[in-house]
Amino acid sequence: MGYLSFDESSSKDSEEFEINDELPLGWNWAMWWTYEGISGPEFWGVINPAWVMCSEGRRQSPINLDPRTLLYDPNLTPLLVDKTMVAGELVNTGHSLEWQMQEVRDDQHRDSSRDNYRDRNRGLDMTGDDGGPPTRDRHLPLPMMGAVNVSGGPLSYQYSLSRARLHYGERDIQGSEHTIDNHAFPAELQLYGHNSQLYPNLTVAASHVYGVLAVSVLIQLGDRTSPALATILEGLHKVTFGGSRVSVKPLRLSDLLPSHSHYLTYEGSLTEPGCHETVTWVLPNKPLYISFSQMRSLRELRQGPSLHHRNAPLGNNFRPLQPSHHRTVRTNIDFTSTSPPETLAGRKCSMAESRFHYRANDLLRS
């Protein structure tokens, strides 16, 4: 069931992105920022001048998605996602849980049990010294590559998804960055890709116009975890501490996205420093599910590398809601498509009325 339904009553009434900013000697901004206290979101744009958009930007993310102000756009086509097999690594970055993708070819798929993946852009053999997954400093950039091509929908260019981030809360009532009608979800999975027709990788694209696509799937609690999400989180117990990583079995990214083509879209920003306003956001109108037990496992993750010093939980890694500043949020959800309403003249309408309204699904309002 989707987040939105047709409001009949109203219708009748009317890397972790690589941070390239110049640093003071001996200071690492990538290590500095957090989600709380004097290094939290309130101060991102104050302490580091290179992140000024975090405090002064007018198209910041995340935002609350108000069903009553959505604009129906009949020209929004379905989002087209390649069915390429991808694998990669699940990494505890100390800021979030991140899935760093690599494309899997047929010959790699046969060797996937040995965690032997090859970077198609740089020809790097990504096998560790012991034959297992490689160990890398978490602040070094991964080779940026387009794992899965995405086009259509609100996009004028082709984008290549290469990593995903999971935001979640320490309590069930919060965790997602975006909200629907001021309703927060326990978690949100954000899939990031770069404009592969204009820019070479996600690092470069992040600070350039039309640079980034973010497909964001809200996550609801359920009896079982959605199969594709379960595959990604299978090695969760091996990434308890910051800097740890584990290989992810191959899967199709298209299986991770809801099976229908309805979505909401708007223009916004990255939700972490430097908050560049270069992101086209697409939010499918259907959630993924995570089990209660898997949610408990997520809440055992820690920011730091070990237990012997102060080690805060990784959860509550979400940026507060930002002002929408009257931005347009469009949708292709058309509740009249199968049974268009009668006009006063007795004819069927071919598309939605210009004053046709949405409301949040009753389950979100209960």
Q: What pLDDT score was predicted for residue 84? A: 87
Q: What pLDDT score was predicted for residue 111? A: 38
Does the CA dihedral 142-37-206-101 come out positive or negative?
positive
Residue 357 has pLDDT above 90, yes or no: no
**CA gap 7, 5 in Å, rounded:** 6
DSSP state of 236: G
Residue 15 has pLDDT above 50, yes or no: no
SS3 category, 181:
coil
Tens-digit pLDDT profile for residues 238-265: 999 999 999 999 999 999 998 768 999 9
**CA gap 283, 181 in Å, rounded:** 14
**CA gap 188, 203 in Å, rounded:** 22
Residue 29 banded pLDDT, cuts 50, 70, 90: low
Q: Which amino acid is at 25?
A: L
Say which residues have a Cβ less than 8 Å from residue 159's Cβ, sequence separation at least 6.
146, 149, 150, 151, 193, 194, 195, 196, 212, 213
Residue 164 phi, psi dihedral angles, 5° rounding? -135, 145
Higher pLDDT, 17 or 325: 325
Token pair, residue 240, equals 């308890």
Residue 276 has pLDDT above 90, yes or no: yes
Q: What pLDDT score was predicted for residue 274? A: 94
Say which residues have a Cβ less than 8 Å from residue 286's Cβ, sequence separation at least 6.
1, 2, 3, 258, 259, 260, 262
Token pair, residue 319, equals 């940026």
Considering only CA atoms, which of 283, 80, 109, 295 is closest in space to residue 186?
295
Long-range CB contacts for residues 155-158, cutoff 8 Å, separation at least 24: 155/79, 155/213, 155/280, 156/210, 157/195, 157/196, 157/197, 157/198, 157/210, 158/195, 158/196, 158/197
| DSSP per residue, 149-176 | EEEETT-SS-EEEEEEEEEE-SSTT---
User: Which residue in the block uniquely carries the two structure tokens 């690492």?
Assistant: 28
Considering only CA atoms, which of 246, 248, 354, 243 is closest in space to residue 306?
243
Residue 199 bears catalytic tag: yes
Considering only CA atoms, which of 203, 166, 204 is closest in space to residue 186?
166
Q: What pLDDT score was predicted for residue 20? A: 45
**CA gap 228, 221 in Å, rounded:** 15
Q: What is the mean pLDDT of the chain?
A: 80
Task: Tell me the average pLDDT across 353-366.
Answer: 57
Tens-digit pLDDT profile for residues 163-211: 999 999 999 999 999 999 999 999 999 999 999 999 999 999 999 999 9
Tens-digit pLDDT profile for residues 72-112: 999 999 999 998 899 999 999 999 999 999 877 544 443 33
**CA gap 146, 309 in Å, rounded:** 38
Residue 364 banded pLDDT, cuts 50, 70, 90: low
**CA gap 341, 351 in Å, rounded:** 9
Catalytic residue among 3, 199, 210, 266: 199
The residues facing 221 across adjacent strands are 290
Domains of the chain plus CATH, in order, are 4-14+59-334+351-365 (3.10.200.10)
Higher pLDDT, 104 or 357: 104
**CA gap 19, 96 in Å, rounded:** 16
Cβ atoms of 18 and 143 closer than 8 Å: no
